[in-house]
Amino acid sequence: QLQLQESGPGLMKPSETLSLTCTVSGDSITNRQFYWGWIRQPPGKGLEWIGSIFHTGSTYYNPSLKTRVTMSVDTSTNQFSLSLSLTSVTAADTAVYYCVRDSHYYDSSGYYLVSDSWGQGTLVTVSS
């Protein structure tokens, strides 16, 4: 049974760099059927996709966050990570951050992804 567990600091200061890790159990991060992604949700608000990564390092990023985001995979520990440069506005990046598994397939029209499993989420508060 797949389990996704986020870990990282709960409190950050503006303009710092946030680093979060997702530990995957019950599946191999090198499984060719899946990408691995991050989605966030500010308190009381909707969902925002951050990005998705394949075990080879191939990535898809949200264009609105692309300049501040780096994702990576560590196949030796079955983990993937998010690095986000925080803005100077505290509320902008305060959110629950979820890691997800993205099932994917490819055909002549392109790649297709769906977030089919979610971690429980971790709250990151940005405050000076």
Partner 1 sequence: SYVVTQPPSVSVAPGKTASITCAGNDIVSKSVHWHQQKPGQAPVLVIYYDTDRPSGIPERFSGSNSGNTATLTISRVEAGDEADYYCQVWDSSLGQYVFGTGTKVTVL
Assess 10 for contact with partner 1 (CB under 8 A). Answer: no
Q: Which stretch binds partner 1 (CB under 8 A): 19-27, 71-79, 85-93, 107-115?
A: 107-115
From CA 11, how far away is CA 80, in angstroms rounded? 20
Question: Looking at 10, 32, 76, 110, which residue binds partner 1 (CB under 8 A)?
Answer: 110
- Does position 33 interact with partner 1 (CB under 8 A)? The reply is no
Q: How many CB atoms lie within 10 A of CB 109?
A: 6
| Residue 113 interacting with partner 1 (CB under 8 A) | yes
Pick one of 5, 19, 62, 78: the residue that binds partner 1 (CB under 8 A): 62
Residues 37-56, interacting with partner 1 (CB under 8 A): 46-49, 52
